[in-house]
Chain A
Amino acid sequence: MAHDDEIDCSGMNCPLPVLKTKMKIDGMAAGSTLKVITTDPGSCQDIPAWANRVGHEVVETGEGDGKFWFMVKRGE
């Protein structure tokens, strides 16, 4: 899926993937999509919970090769 930017949080543990993702997406335009890559299984709950709370949308998720990824569309 096409995305505007990407952040690799591989190896990071709670709460770093959420914090790094928040800081990254803050600098992006509304409506753009950030691909977030993680290895922390907890991020599968945390990234969507965070996104839902702050008004972003996780439009696609996936996993493979020990990694998880999330397409986060920035809200207004």
Chain B
Amino acid sequence: MAERKKMALIAAQGSLDWAYPPFILASTGAAMDMEVKVFFTFYGLPLLKPKIKAKVTPAANPAMPMKMPFGPKGFQNIDWPMPHAITGVVPGFDSMATRLMKKTFKKKGVATITELREMCVMLGVELIACQMTMDVFGFEKEDFIDGVTFGGAAAFLDFAADADIQMFM
């Protein structure tokens, strides 16, 4: 077996779509016998709370396909043109888009963020909360799930310096 690889990830975004890459790669990396640490900073920090409330924001992602997860195939394949005037202004649009995306994920057999996070914990991924961001946004250690560790830039870089894979998301 090859020498144990290391992977260092930074999760800086907290929307539903951006929550997936770090948890997918972290859990898979751990399953591939890698030592994995994920540093949660800025808007990534709420992903460490017991209840994940991440949403998608179509207004901020103009290339997001807007498709319906139900109805006949032809209907499901329609990519609905959605002007910014609607996605950015209509109240509840993000919540609706989030519901549709979650429904699509479920239908396609994609794990929820919470499930992937549980896998990460089970597989020994270290989830690090950025102490500075906690102070700035007013988070306490008790706000996060058990097992989260706490650290800063130097602690992360000390690990990342010897890591084989480093990614910022």
The interface of chain A, by Cβ under 8 A from chain B, is 11-16, 18-19, 22-23, 39-40, 50, 53-55, 75-76
Contacts and interface: CB of A to CB of B under 8 A. Distances in A.
Given A12-B111, A19-B27, A19-B123, 13 more contacts: A11-B109, A13-B108, A15-B24, A15-B27, A15-B111, A18-B31, A19-B28, A19-B31, A23-B122, A53-B2, A53-B33, A54-B31, A55-B1
Contacts of A40: 109
Given A54-B32, A54-B33, A12 B109 contact: yes
B119 interface: yes
Interface in B115-165: 116, 119, 122-123
24 contacts: A11-B109, A12-B111, A13-B108, A13-B109, A13-B111, A14-B24, A14-B110, A15-B27, A15-B31, A16-B109, A16-B110, A18-B28, A19-B31, A22-B31, A23-B122, A40-B109, A50-B31, A50-B32, A54-B1, A54-B31, A54-B32, A54-B33, A55-B1, A76-B1
Question: Contact residue range for chain B?
Answer: 10 to 19
Contacts of A54: 1, 31-33
